[in-house]
Structure 1
C-alpha cells in the first residue's frame, strides 16, 4: 500500500521557517515538534530568506499585475468576438 505524500500550506511553511530563523529552538527540536525532517525545515528556511526581498519589491508585483491584466483583457476580447458572432448567427 502506497503512503500518500503530505502537503503543507504556505502559511504552515512560513510559520516553521520563521521559527527556524528565530533560533529559539534547534532545527531538530522543531522537526520533532512538527514531525518534519530537519532537512525540509532548512530548505523552507533557505527558500524563505531567498524570496524575502521580493516582499518589498514594487517592480515585481506591478509587472506581475500588468501581465495578468493584459491576459484578462485579451480573454475579454476573445469572448466579445464570440458573443458578436453568436448574435449574428442567431439573428439578434
Structure 2
C-alpha cells in the first residue's frame, strides 16, 4: 500500500509529463489505472490545499476523535478496575465474616 506522500510523488511525476504514464507505473510497480485515479482525486482535492479553514477543522476533528477514543479507553479500564475492586471487597468481607463465626 502506498502512503499519501508516495501517491503525491507519483502523481506529481505524472503531471510533469517527463515520462509516460506507463513508464511511471512500471517504475513504481503500480497499475496505470490506479495512478490515473490518484491523479483525478488529486486534481479534485487541490482547492482544499488553499482552504486553511477546512484544513484546521479537519485537524481539530482528528484531534478530538483521538482524545475521545483515549477517554473511552480510560473509562473502560476504570470500569474493569472498579469491578475487580468490588469483587475483592466482597471476598475480603466474606473471609472476615467466616473468621468471626
TM superposition score category, shorter chain reference: 0.5 to 0.7
Counterparts in 2 of 1:12-91, with a 5 A limit?
12-67=6-61, 72=67
The CA RMSD over aligned residues, in Å, is 2.6
The 3-state SS of whatever aligns with 1:44 is helix
Residues matched between the structures, number: 75
Rg (Cα) greater in structure:
2
Q: Measure how far apart 1:65 and its partner are.
A: 4.1
Q: Measure how far apart 1:50 and its partner are.
A: 1.1
Over 3 Å off, 4+ runs = 65-73
Q: Measure how far apart 1:16 and its partner are.
A: 0.3
Q: Measure how far apart 1:66 and its partner are.
A: 4.5
Point out where structure 2 has 5 or more consecutive residues left out of the alignment.
Answer: 83-101
Structure whose residues are more often helix by fraction: 2
Highest RCO, 1 vs 2 (Cα 8 Å, sep ≥ 6): 1
1:18-43 residue CA offsets vs partner (Å, 9 max, x unmatched):
00111111101111111111101111
Point out where structure 1 has 5 or more consecutive residues left out of the alignment.
Answer: 1-6, 87-92
Which residue is 2:85 aligned to? none
Q: Measure how far apart 1:62 and its partner are.
A: 2.8
TM-score (norm 1): 0.63
